[in-house]
Structure 1
C-alpha cells in the first residue's frame, strides 16, 4: 500500500523500492534507491533497450527473399564495370499482361498535341530522348516477335523550374494498365530495403566535424538491364510529326518501375562489397552513408576527408556512377574537383 514511506514494486527489472523517505531532520535531506536481483546486469540492459526501441527481429517476406536470390544469381558487370541486372518479375502476373500499345499510342498523341502549343517543350524533350539514344540507354527495335510478353511505357514531361540540374524530366508510366488491367509494376517485385534508414544516416552525418555531401548523376540509368527483359520497357517516339512513329526499348533500369529503387541501391551495396579491400573508407561510406542516390558522409579532419573523397570517386567511377553536386563545410577539401561537379550552395 502506498503511504508516507517507500513502496515495493515488482517490475520487469525485478523488485525495486521507491518513494519518499521520512525526514529525520529539517537540515538533512536524503534519497535512497535499493535494488536486489539475481539477473545478470547485461541481460537487464539488453531487455531495457529492446523495450525502449520496440525492436523486433528483421525478417524478409517470401517475395523479398526471392528478389535477393535472383539478384545474387543474375547480377553481372560488363567490361566497363557497369552493373547488368534482370528485372525481378512475378511470372504468373507477367503472363496476364494484355495489349499496352494502344494506350501508349493515345498517350503519345496527347503528348504531341502538347508539343504543338509549346515549341520549347518539344525541343527540350527531344534533346533528352536524343541523349538517351547517344548514351545507349535506349535502342530502336528493328524487328518484332511475339515470343515474350511486351509492355509499352507511356511517357510524359514533368517540369521542375526550381531544379539546379534537371529542369525537365521525362517520366515513364510503368503503372499504366494494359487492356487486361495489369500494368508492368503489377508484374514486378519491389524488393527489400537494403540501405540504412534516413534517421540513422543523418544522425551519423551530424557527428562529423568535416561534412561531405554529393549525389549520383542519373543513377538508375547507369545500370543496364539484360536484353531478355528490355522488351518490357518499350516506348514510342518520333522526332517530327512528319515521320512515322518509331519503336524503342529502354536498355537501363527505368525510374518509376517498381523494382528500380531496389535494383539501384542493391548495386551500390554490391559495389561497396567489391571495393572493400581496395577502398575500405569509401566502401564503408557507400554501404552506410547513402540514402538512395544521396551521399551524407564526413570525416574527422580535412586530410581524412580528402582521402575519403578520392577513394569514393574512384570506387563509384569503377561501377559507372558519377558523383556530382559535391559540397562541404570545408571548401578547401573540394578544391581539386572540377567546378562542374560542385554544388553552388555551401553547408553552414
Structure 2
C-alpha cells in the first residue's frame, strides 16, 4: 500500500499543487508488463525540489515518485502509483476476453466409472429417511454376489480375542462395554435362532478386534475387519468404494484461514448414525459370548454402517448431502457450509461462524448426526 499527502510537497513550496488528488493506502490494481513500458514514459514533468518528489504525465496519467516528507533517509525512490481511475468495465472486458479465448478448449469433466454409476444408482434408490435417521444399502459390485462361508474364520478370531481378554482384565472390561454399548444404542442386535437359520448368498461374519490409542490409555476402538479373506474373497472385495465427492483438504484449509475467527467441529460416530437396509445386514454379522467359552457364541447383526467397509465413506457423504439439500431454500448459507466446508466428518468455517455453525448443527441433527467438539480459533490480525 502507498500514500501521498499534501504535506509531502508543502515544505518545498507552499503554493505547490499536486496534479492529482492525494491518496492513502492505495493498492495497485493493474500490473503492466515491460513490453508496454513506453506507456510509462514522461510526456511532461513537474518538480517540487531537486531531490523530489516529482510528478510526470504519462499516457496512462500522472504519477508521483521520489522521497517525500519524513522519508528523506529512504535509500531508494518511493514507488509510484497511477493517479488515473480504472474504468469499471475493464474487469468485465478482460473476463469476456478470456472466456472467448477458452471457448471450446476447456477440459471436459472426467466420465464417471461404470462402478460409480452403479453405486450412485444404489445410493439414490435405497437412501430413505427412517424416523429421525437415514437408511441406505451396501454398494454391491454385482447383483448376483455369492459370499463363501465365513463362520469358521470368525470363530477362530473370536477365540484369539478371548485369549487376550483372559490376560488383560482392563481390556476385557472395555471390550465388553463397547459391544454392550452397540446393543443399547441400536447399532447391533442379537439374532434369534430362527433368524440365524435363514440362509442366503450374502451372509458374512465379520472379524472384530480392539485397537488402543497410546494417547488415551485404557480406551480402545472396536474395529470390524471387512478385508479378512476366505480364499480370495473378502466382504470389501464384493463392495464398491462408490463415487468420491470429497472437497480437497487444501481448499478447506485455505478457506479456514480467510477470516479472523475460525470454528471447527466433528460429526460424532458418523457411520453409526446411518442405518443399513435390512436385506443387507446379513453381511454384517459377528460372534460374541462375553468371554464365556463354555457355550456357543451368540450371533449379532450390525444395523448401521461399519468403520472399515469400503463403501461407508461414500455412502455417509451421500446421506449427509441428501439431508442438507432439504434446507437449500431456507438455509442456503448453512447448506453451503455443509457442502463446501466439510472434510469427511470434520467441519471448518470462519465468516459469520457462530450463526452459520449453529444452523449447521441443527441441520445435521435433522439427519440423525451430532455435530460435537466445537472449537474456536481467534487469529491475531
TM-score bin, normalised by smaller chain? 0.7 to 0.9
Give 1:130's aligned residue.
180
Correspondence 1:151-300 to 2 at 5 A: 151-163=204-216, 167-178=219-230, 180-241=231-292, 242-299=294-351
User: 1:13-49 CA distances to partner (integer Å, 9 max, x unpaired)?
Assistant: xxxx97xx9xxxxxxxxxxxxxxxxxx83147648x9
Query: Is 1:42 paired with 2:95?
Result: no
Structure 1 gap segments, 5+ residues each: 1-16, 22-39, 331-345
Once the two structures are superposed, residues 126-185 of structure 1 have per-residue CA deviations (whole angstroms, 9 ceiling, x without a partner) of 110011000000011112211342000000111013159x9310100001112x421110
**Change over 3 Å in CA distance of 1:65–1:224 after alignment to 2:** same
- The answer (yes or no) to whether the contact 1:281–1:311 under 8 Å persists in 2 is no
1:94 aligned counterpart, secondary structure:
coil
Taking structure 1 as reference, are residues 290 and 161 closer, same or farther at Cα in structure 2, changes over 3 Å only?
Answer: same
In the superposition, the TM-score normalised over structure 1's length comes to 0.76
CA contact (8 A) 1:93 1:186 kept: no
| Counterpart pick for 1:84 among 135, 146, 169 | 135
For residues 240 and 159 of structure 1, the distance between their equivalents in structure 2, rounded to whole angstroms, comes to 19
Q: In the alignment, which residue of structure 1 is the partner of 2:149?
A: 99
**Residues 1:319 and 2:370 are matched in the alignment:** no
Structure ranking higher on relative contact order (CA contacts 8 Å, 6+ apart): 1
CA distance in 2, matches of 1:93, 1:290: 36
SS in 2 for 1:103: helix
Q: Is the 8 A contact 1:328 1:347 kept in 2?
A: no
After superposition, the Cα gap between the structure-2 partners of 1:347 and 1:70, relative to the gap in structure 1 and judged at 3 Å, is farther
- Maintained 8 Å contact 1:125/1:170: yes
8 A contact 1:101–1:152 mirrored in 2? yes
Contact 2:285 2:302 in 1 (8 A): yes
| 8 Å contact from structure 1 (residues 233, 250) kept in 2 | yes
Q: What CA deviation, in whole Å up to 9, does each residue of 1:259-289 have, x standing for no partner?
A: 0010111111112211222322221111111
Matches of 1:44 and 1:199, distance apart in 2:
30
RMSD: 2.8
Cα separation, partners in 2 of 1:347 and 1:115, compared to 1, 3 Å: farther
| SS of aligned partner of 1:216 | strand
Instruction: State the Cα distance separating 1:71 from its structure 2 match.
Output: 0.9
Q: Distance in 1 between matches of 2:129 and 2:339?
A: 18
SS at match of 2:362: helix
**Which structure shows the bigger proportion of residues in strand conformation?**
2
Q: 1:66 aligns with which of 110, 118, 121?
A: 118
In structure 1, what is the equivalent of residue 189 of structure 2?
Answer: 139
- In 1: Cα distance, 2:186 partner to 2:341 partner: 30
2:358 equivalent among 282, 296, 310: 310
Unaligned runs of 5+ in 2: 1-33, 39-95
Compute the TM-score of the two structures, normalised by the length of structure 2. Answer: 0.70
When Rg is computed on C-alpha atoms for both structures, the one with the higher figure is 2
Partners of 1:59 and 1:169 in 2: CA distance? 38
**SS of alignment partner, residue 295 of structure 1:** strand
Number of positions where the alignment pairs a residue of Structure 1 with one of Structure 2: 287
